[in-house]
Amino acid sequence: MVVATVAFAVREYRVGRERLVDETYHTLRASAGVAAERLSAALAERERLTSVWAGLETSQDLAVDDVDKRLSGSLAELTAMLDEGTEAVAIRPPDRLLSASDAARLAGAASPLPAVVVQAVDAPEAGLTIHGAGSDGGTVVSTADVTSRVDGSKLGRIAVWTPLGRFLAGALPLELETLELRAADGSVLFRGADVRGPSADYLWASDTAQTAAGALSVSVARARVELTTELRTNARQLVTLAAVFLLLTLPGTLLVVRSATSELGRLTRAARELDAHSPEALPPVSRWAPREVRVLADAIDAMIVRLGQAREELARSESLAAIGMLTKSLAHEIRTPLSVLRAGTEMLARSSQSDARQREVSEMLQMEVERLARLVDDLLVFGRPSPPVPSEMDLRDVCEDALSALEAEAAEVQVGLSLDGGPASLRGDADKLRQVVVNLVVNAVRACEGGGTVVVRTARSNDTVSLEVEDDGVGIPPERLSEIWTPLFTTHASGTGLGLPIVKQLVEAHDGTVEVESEPGHGTCVRVTLPKNGPENG
C-alpha cells in the first residue's frame, strides 16, 4: 500500500507539473495576443488623432503665429484626452515653436524638446515612431503636417509624444513588470523590471503587433522560480493526501482522491475556456471535494461573472469614448461655417430689398441654422463633459424655471405642463440639472403627438431627492427601451439623438440613477434619483 501510494503521488506530481507549465504557457500566449492587439489599436488611434488635429481649423493659426493662442488651447485639449505625461507642440519651419500644450515651453521655462521629438519634426515624412529605452526611458512620437486650406502649402508640423512606459501602461491590460517590447530589428524598446535576468530563467510567450512604426514583438514572461514554488506547494499537498490515505481506509481515501481529481479536471477545463475567451458556468462541485477545490471553484465562477461584466462595460466605454471624440471633432469643424450661415441669413432678413418670398426663405433658413446650432451645443456637451460644480439648491426651483422657458413651445403643440411636489433641496449643479429637466420635458412634449399633458414631480427622502417627468403620449415599445440611451438614436424627426444620453451623463456625474417606465399608447415616466448631499467628488 505504501509503495502504491508513493507511486501514485509521484505520478500525480509529474502530471501536475506538465499541466501547470502547459496552462501557464497558454495563459501567457493569450496575454501576449491581447497585448499585441491593444498596442496596434492604441498606436493607430494615436496616429489618427494627430492627423485629425492637424486638419482642424484651429491648426491654420500656424499661418498667423497663433496670436490668440487658440492652437495652444486645442493642443492642450488633445493631450488631456491622452495618457498622463503627453505633450504636443506645433512648429513652423525652420524649427520655430509657435504653440504648445504646456505654456512653459512657449515662455522658455521648460527644458528643451527631447531629441527624439526634434528628429521626428525634422524628418522628411510625418508619421509614427517609437524610440527605445535610453536616458529618457523611451518615447512614442506621432507627427502630422498642417497644410494651408488656401494654397495647399505646408504651414508646419504638429508633434505629439508620450513616455513609452506611460503609453504602454494606458494601452495594455496587463502588468508591465513582466513585459518586453522589441522592434523588427530585434532591439529592445521596453523591458519590465521583473525580467532583467537571463532569458532562460523565464517562460516566454510572444505575439506580433502590426503598426505604422513597423512590426513590434510583444512578449510576456513568468519566472520559472514561481512555477517551482507552486510545484512545491502541490507536492506538499500530495504528501498530505498520501498520509491521509495511509491513515484512513483505502475506500475512503480513493473516494477523496477521485473527487478531487475530477473536480480539478473541471476547473482545468474552465480555465482553458477562460483562455479561449468563451467561459461557461461551472458545473456544481461535489460535496466530497476538498475545501480548497470548492473555494477555487467559487473563485472561478465569480471570475467568469466579473469577466462578462467587464467585457460589456469595456465595450460600452470604448464605444462612448469613440463617439465622444468624433462628436467633439465634428462640433469644432461645424461651428465656424455655421456662424457664417447665421450672419448671412440675418443680413438677408434685414435687407430692405428682400420681397416677401425672400424673407420667408430667410426665416426658414434661420430656423434651420438655430436647430444646427443646438445640435452643435449638444455635441460639445456630450463630447466634452465637465464635472458638476455643486452648491446648495432647490430642485423644484430649477423645474419651475425650466417649465417657464418651455411653456410657450408646449402650448404651440397643445401640450399642458404642470409641476407637483414640494421643495427638494440638495447639493448639485443647478445649470446641469436644469438641462436634465429641459431635455426630459422636451422629449415628453414631443411624445404627446396631437396634444396631451406632461407632469413634473419632485420629492425628497432622508438621503435622496427624486424627479419624475410623466407624459400621456405614444409611449416606447419594449424592444426600443434599451436603445434610448444610445447616442444619435432618435425616433423624432427634429431630435438629435443626444438628449437622453446627455441626461444619463449628467445624472451619473451627480452619482445619481435614471430609470424609464413606458407602455405603448399610455405614456412614459422617467424617474431620476439623486443623492441629497451631492456627488462624492464634489
pLDDT at 391 over 90: yes
Q: How far apart are CA 214 and CA 91, in angstroms?
A: 26
Give me the number of domains the chain comprises: 3
As a whole number, mean pLDDT of residues 151-169 equals 93
In a domain? residue 310: yes
In a domain? residue 4: no
Residues 250-272: tens digit of each pLDDT = 555 555 555 555 555 555 555 55
Residue 154: pLDDT band (50, 70, 90) is very high
- The answer to whether residues 410 and 512 belong to one domain is yes
CATH of the domain at 118: 3.30.450.20
Give the per-residue pLDDT at 51: 95
Residue 198: pLDDT band (50, 70, 90) is confident
Higher pLDDT: 19 or 474? It is 474
62-71, 156-165, 426-435, range with the lowest pLDDT: 62-71
Burial of residue 121 (CB within 10 Å: 0-12, 13-18, 19+) is buried
In a domain? residue 275: yes
Percentage above 90 pLDDT, the chain: 35
- The answer to whether residues 55 and 152 belong to one domain is yes
CATH of the domain at 407: 3.30.565.10
Give the per-residue pLDDT at 130: 94
- The answer to whether residues 52 and 188 belong to one domain is yes
- The answer to whether residues 363 and 418 belong to one domain is no
- The answer to whether residues 369 and 417 belong to one domain is no
- The answer to whether residues 206 and 262 belong to one domain is no
Tell me whether strands 202-211 and 214-223 are parallel, antiparallel or unpaired.
Answer: antiparallel
As a whole number, mean pLDDT of residues 496-523 equals 87
37-46, 76-85, 257-266, 285-294, range with the lowest pLDDT: 257-266
Per-residue CA distances from 214 to 129, 211, 380, 453 (Å) = 9, 5, 36, 62
Give the per-residue pLDDT at 94: 82
| Main-chain phi, psi angles of 426, to 5 degrees | -165, 170
Q: How far apart are CA 183 and CA 180, in angstroms?
A: 10
pLDDT at 65 over 70: yes
Give the per-residue pLDDT at 89: 95
In a domain? residue 24: no
Q: How far apart are CA 33 and CA 27, in angstroms?
A: 10
Q: Which of 171, 203, 236 corresponds to the end of one domain?
A: 236
- The answer to whether residues 261 and 217 belong to one domain is no
In a domain? residue 198: yes
Residue 460: pLDDT band (50, 70, 90) is very high
- The answer to whether residues 343 and 429 belong to one domain is no
43-47, 461-465, 470-474, 478-482, range with the lowest pLDDT: 478-482
Q: Which of 384, 418, 441 corresponds to the end of one domain?
A: 384
- The answer to whether residues 193 and 45 belong to one domain is yes
Cα end-to-end span (Å), the chain: 70
Look up the domain containing 142 and give its range.
Answer: 30-236
Residues 292-323: tens digit of each pLDDT = 666 767 777 777 777 776 666 665 555 555 55
In a domain? residue 241: no
Give the per-residue pLDDT at 280: 57
- Most confident range (mean pLDDT) of 12-26, 184-198, 242-256, 428-442 is 428-442
Q: How far apart are CA 156 and CA 452, in angstroms?
A: 59
- The answer to whether residues 175 and 309 belong to one domain is no
Q: Is the pTM of this model over 0.75?
A: no
Give the per-residue pLDDT at 294: 67
In a domain? residue 25: no
- The answer to whether residues 205 and 271 belong to one domain is no
- The answer to whether residues 327 and 458 belong to one domain is no
In a domain? residue 8: no
Higher pLDDT: 67 or 29? It is 29
Average pLDDT, the chain: 79
92-101, 303-312, 390-399, range with the lowest pLDDT: 303-312
Q: Which of 367, 384, 401 corresponds to the end of one domain?
A: 384
Cell of 255: 473516494
